Each structure stands twice: as C-alpha cells, then as structure tokens.
Structure 1
Amino acid sequence: MAALWRGCGRLLAGRPGAAQALTAGALMGAGDVIAQQLVERRGLRGHRGLRTARMVAIGFCFVGPVVGSWYRILDRLIPGSTKVVAVKKMLLDQGAFAPCFLGCFLAVTGAVSGLSVQENCSKIQQIWPPVQIANFYLVPLQHRLAVVQCVAIVWNCYLSWKANRM
C-alpha cells in the first residue's frame, strides 16, 4: 500500500492532470459499482459493466480534467490558504463554477446515458458547501480533486443510480 501511495504521489507531482483524471474516473466507477451492488442489489451476474465503463469514462474524460483545471485556476485567482481565502474560493466555486459545471455534467451524462437534461436536473441536489470550505482550507491544491471525489463517491453512486434507472 505504501508503494502505491508513493507512486500516486510521484504521478501527482509529475503529471497532475493525468493523476486527477485517473482518480476521478476510478472514483466515479466505484460510485457506479456501489450503486449497482449495494443500492440496486444487482449481484455480480446482473452487474452492467458497460454502465460502469461509461461512468469511468465521464470521470476520466470530463470530470477530472475540468474540475482539476478549475481548481488550478481558482488557486491562481485567489492565492493563499487562510480561512477567509477558503470561504472566498468556496463562494466562487459554488456561485460561479458549480452551476455551469452541473449543467455541462448533466448534458454529458444525459448524452452518454440516454436521459434528457430535464430528467437529470430534477434529480440533482446542491453540493455541500462546508466540504468545499474544508477542502480549500485544509487540502493542498494537488489533492483537492481527490478529496472532493472521495466525498462525492456517495454522490456519484446516487447519480449513477438515478441516471441509469430503467
């Protein structure tokens, strides 16, 4: 486990975009597996691998690169790591980025899953702002996406379950 952690650290340091895309893809895939196995109780025979692959692809190709880039931009716009800076980042994140990102995420998810934007919009809730305050205050830039994705694994599970309900 220690070797895996060191390898992740080297990847983050050398290729942060790739590491964040891989992290987002893996965690969104994990959210789908949890949705299928624990929420929907599909069992291994009923598991829909293509659906999990779609969620991994959305995380890898869309969520990781977009959110990782946003966090780098946000860190340049509002430098520092005080509590006030963390609140400013959270307000900008939730007030400006989150609505745009959510709209794009819904469009991508809808296109990939075959659901309309309206169906997805009716099922989405606001992201919990205190998580972002803690994330911007306590977590170094290169780890923020991973923290958000870990917290959001339940959210990803919910999204996957709702987006793939038949």
Structure 2
Amino acid sequence: MTSSSRAMAGLWRGWGRLLARRPGAAQALTAGALMAVGDVVAQQLVEQRGLSGHQGPRTLRMAAIGCGFVGPVVGGWYRVLDWLVPGATKVVAVKKMVLDQGVFAPSFLGCFLAVTGVVNGLSVEENWAKIQQDYVDALLTNYCIWPPVQVANFYFVPLQHRLAIVQCVAIVWNCYLSWKANRM
C-alpha cells in the first residue's frame, strides 16, 4: 500500500468515526467540501477563469453555504423523510422521492438561491430579481437530474450516508448551482 493510499484510508476511517459520533458535523463538513469542489469546477471548467482568475472568496462562500445551510438542512430533511415514510422497499423509495422532489426541492432551491444572494451581498431587490431570473430554470434542471438519483439513494443507501452520496453525485449539480447563483 502506498503512502497516499494509506493516507486516504486514514481519512476515510476518520470520516467514518466522525459520522458515527457526530453525524450532523460530518454531513455539514462533507457538504461544505463538496460545494467548494463544485464551485472550483464551475470556475475552472465552465467559466474557464484559470488559476489567476479564480475567485477564492467565492469558493469559501460556497463552502460556508454547504457547511451552514445545505448540510444541516438536507441532512435534517432526510431524517424527517425517514420518519414520515419508514421502510426500505422500492415503493417506499419512490414515495420518498415524490416528497423530496415535490415538496422539499422547490422550497430548498428557492431558499438556496436566497441564501446565496445574501452571502454574495445582493440587496433585497437584487436578490429577488435574481431568484425570479434563475428559479424556474434551476427547478426544471433539478427535475432532469434528481428523481432517478433519489430513488436509488433512498432504496440502496443507509440514512447516515445519503447526504454524502448525494453530494458526491451533486458535484456536477453544485457546479451548476454555483455558476447559476454567482452569474450576475
């Protein structure tokens, strides 16, 4: 085993211990890190800013939104969803997806865009205009990506790992959201 693979194995074990002891903290940190990765991908691959044009403060803001908003809210929602619709059958997974995409996603997306606008320093009027400009497109894009991912997530993945799995799949989604939320 190479030193880098030992280091990765150690990080994985440490994350597993943190997840077991403090699941909320682990989920918040995971969401923050993966929101930052999504922003880096958005800036480097989508916007093609290059390293000299990379906006570090923007990446830190997206990480903060992941840690302080996305991780806690989505992690809490998954716990509520498991309480509302207990079980692990295919039918239960579809019911959870319908609630997730029909109730949670529309409200979460609006809140995400509002939080991002506030963190980016937009005035109330600018923020409202940005939400009106971006919301429908972002919601329709959400419906193209997330229903099949969520059915698989709710059927195959244990509760404590759902946010991490979603956030890994969501690197592309986070890239899209970062680009959408930071496009002025």
Q: TM-score, normalised by structure 2?
A: 0.86
Deviation, structure 1 residue 122: 4.5
Native 8 Å contact 1:110 1:120 kept in 2 = no
In the alignment, residue 133 of structure 2 is paired with which amino acid?
Answer: E
Q: Which moved more, 1:122-131 or 1:95-104?
A: 122-131
SS of 1:126 mapped into structure 2: helix
**1:8 aligned to 2:27?**
no
Map 1:1-166; keep pairs closer than 5 Å: 1-113=8-120, 114=122, 115=127, 116-124=130-138, 125-127=141-143, 128-166=146-184
Gaps of 5+ in 1: none
> How many correspondences in the alignment?
166
The structure having more radius of gyration, on CA atoms, is 2
User: Which structure is higher in helix share?
Assistant: 2
RMSD: 1.3
Moved over 6 A (4+): none
In the alignment, residue 159 of structure 2 is paired with which amino acid?
Answer: L
1:64-121: per-residue Cα shift (whole Å, max 9, x none)? 0000000011111111111111111111111111111111111111222335211331
In the alignment, residue 161 of structure 1 is paired with which amino acid?
Answer: W
SS of 1:81 mapped into structure 2: coil
1:123-164: per-residue Cα shift (whole Å, max 9, x none)? 412242010000000000000001111111111111112222
Q: TM-score, normalised by structure 1?
A: 0.94
